[in-house]
Structure 1
């Protein structure tokens, strides 16, 4: 492995881990706030217990997200110094504002964790809401910086110089809305299905049914609503990519030749040498309709893109298919879930539905990882689209491969530690409720 590949691999590894921590940190506080609201309105202890249990999970992921996010900020400067030299002054504002949002989130989380029975109950609830809102704002600001890399604006690039810099225009570039919307909904979908899946599994085991049933309903509501909205934001994003990054769209769809009435390709194995897609299902005209709203519209293929600017087609295509495929599965589960609610079926009688949620536990995060692969790999060979190539931005410092190995070991260790802590947290909750149920039975 050469240093360039090692630098890219280290960045991909760091982003891959951080995006999961970030999604949970963005979304779980809203679950927590809903259960806390129910407690304040109903005074039922089960909602207080749910809130406290989820708040401990939020604290775990906030800490790990802070560590992984800090590592990422250092890696940008250490691995990509030429990129930061020119890009830092342009899109530094979103990162600065993200730091402020993170600071507010940390204070609010501290208030919430240690404010039980100390603050006014509704002010205490409000601090939990602030945790969620500031977390979402942090995520949107970071995505705005990434969107700028896909659609660099807010400056003039003349004779290799970046002049007339406008940080506001750079932050609110043409890509930020579609990317921020798509990523935010994806975070709710992934986290909702992950949390609902865990509680569905515990319900199937017959553990603390009231606690897990109410927890499941809150998480499933968020996840399923997001899963239904996600195709709409995906369509919005696809149209935006078709307009701004035709090479990325062509790689996503393995669309090698420019043509009218372009087919939508489902599945298939791209052959970049022969410029064919084997074993694929092709729906005539659907790609033209999705991207341009006209079944007969022309869609740009890779034949219109210089060969040295082609993204890796196979990786981008497979990642896109995984993202869309898992999204459709979660959409189907969501429809089944809301249909069950509409028919007023007893969820406990629908073991098959709980099993679907349990199986779907990791699907949202796999889809998120696949989506980020599409975003980042599909932009290659550019780190700043159309202006700076990734190979020109990497550090000249040797030995990056050893740094990659070190970070791999650190992140794998961190994932095992977080997994162990969450496992202990779940076991502790179940043990406490088993004890409380025994006491209740004895008293009765």
Structure 2
């Protein structure tokens, strides 16, 4: 493995690991706050116990996310010094503000964890809300920085120099809103399905059913609402990509040839050598309609872009198909769940619906990882779209492959430790709420 590939692989591993904790850190505090609100309004201890159980999970993920996020910050400077030399003064503002949001989140989390019976009960609840809001703001700011890499703004690039820098314009670049919206909704869907799936599994097993049912319903509503909204944000994001990064869109869709009435390609195996897609389902004109709301609109293909600027088509296409496919599965489950809430109340206690949520437990995070693969791989060969190539930004320091192996071992170890801690936390739930399963009926 050469140093360039090792640097990219290490960054991908670090981001792929951190994004899971970021999503949970952005979303779980809102679940916690809703359960806490129900406790304050109803006085039912089950909601208090759900809140406390979730708050311990939030603490675990916050600590791990802080560590992995710090590593990412150092890697930007160590692995990509040329990039940071030029880009740091331009898009550094969202990172500095993200540090402030993280600081507020840490203080609020401390208040919430240790504030039981010490603060006014509504102020205590408010500190939990602050944890969620600051975590969400933190995520949006980081995504804004990434959006700048896809849609650089806030400077003039003349003769290899970055002039007339405007950090505000850089932060609020043309891609930040669509990308941040898509990521936030994805975080709610992924975390919601993961949490709902774990509680659904415990209900199916008959373990402390009343406790897990309350927790499941809070998480499931968030998950289902986000999954239904996600295609709308995805459409907005895809239109932005079509306008600003036509090469990425062409790779996503394996669209090799510029044409009017471009078909939407579902599945298939891209053949980059012969510029075609084998074994795909093609829906005539649909890609043109999705991009320009016109079935006969022209969609730029990879043939209109210099070959040295082509992204890796196969990886980008497969990742995009995985993201969309899993999104459709979660959308279907969400529609079924809302039908249950609206008309078929008996569905909510049926094992078949619970098992669908169990199956869907990892799907949201797999979709998130696939989506980030599309975002990052689809931008290649650029680290700053159209301005700086990734190969020109990498550190000249040798031996990066050994660093990659070391970090891989560290992240695998962290994943095992976090999994063990969460498993132990779930097993300890019974000590918080020890109600016999027979008190709650599950219809077969």
After TM superposition, the score normalised by the length of structure 2 is: 0.98
Deviation track 1:279-315 (CA, whole Å, cap 9, x = no partner) reads: 0000000000001110000000000000000000000
Give yes or no for the alignment of 1:202 onto 2:191. no
Provide the rounded CA distance (Å) in 2 between the counterparts of 1:209 and 1:380.
49
Provide the rounded CA distance (Å) in 1 between the counterparts of 2:151 and 2:344.
47
Provide the rounded CA distance (Å) in 2 between the counterparts of 1:431 and 1:199.
16
In the other structure, the counterpart of 2:35 is: 35
In the other structure, the counterpart of 2:215 is: 215
Retained in 1: the 8 A contact 2:194–2:361?
A: yes
Q: How many residues in Structure 1 have an aligned counterpart in Structure 2?
A: 438
Provide the rounded CA distance (Å) in 2 between the counterparts of 1:116 and 1:353.
35
Deviation track 1:380-401 (CA, whole Å, cap 9, x = no partner) reads: 0000000000000000000000
**Shift in Å, 1:433:** 3.0
After TM superposition, the score normalised by the length of structure 1 is: 0.98
Deviation track 1:121-173 (CA, whole Å, cap 9, x = no partner) reads: 00000000000000000000000000000000100000100010000000000
**Shift in Å, 1:109:** 0.2
Provide the rounded CA distance (Å) in 2 between the counterparts of 1:80 and 1:340.
50
In the other structure, the counterpart of 1:340 is: 340
Provide the rounded CA distance (Å) in 2 between the counterparts of 1:61 and 1:244.
35
**Shift in Å, 1:431:** 4.2
- The residue correspondences of 1:218-367 to structure 2 (distance < 5 A) are 218-347=218-347, 349-367=349-367
Provide the rounded CA distance (Å) in 1 between the counterparts of 2:122 and 2:51.
14
**Shift in Å, 1:418:** 0.3
Structure 1's unaligned 5+ residue stretches are none
Q: What's the secondary structure of 2:270's corresponding residue?
A: strand
Q: What's the secondary structure of 2:345's corresponding residue?
A: coil
Provide the rounded CA distance (Å) in 1 between the counterparts of 2:141 and 2:433.
40
**Shift in Å, 1:26:** 0.3
What is the aligned-residue RMSD (CA, Å)?
A: 1.0
Retained in 1: the 8 A contact 2:46–2:433?
A: no
**Shift in Å, 1:430:** 2.4
In the other structure, the counterpart of 2:183 is: 183
Retained in 1: the 8 A contact 2:341–2:348?
A: no
Provide the rounded CA distance (Å) in 1 between the counterparts of 2:214 and 2:346.
13
**CA pair 347-425 structure 1, distance change in 2 beyond 3 A:** farther
In the other structure, the counterpart of 1:174 is: 174
In the other structure, the counterpart of 1:410 is: 410
Q: What's the secondary structure of 2:311's corresponding residue?
A: coil
Provide the rounded CA distance (Å) in 2 between the counterparts of 1:48 and 1:346.
26
**CA pair 150-264 structure 1, distance change in 2 beyond 3 A:** same
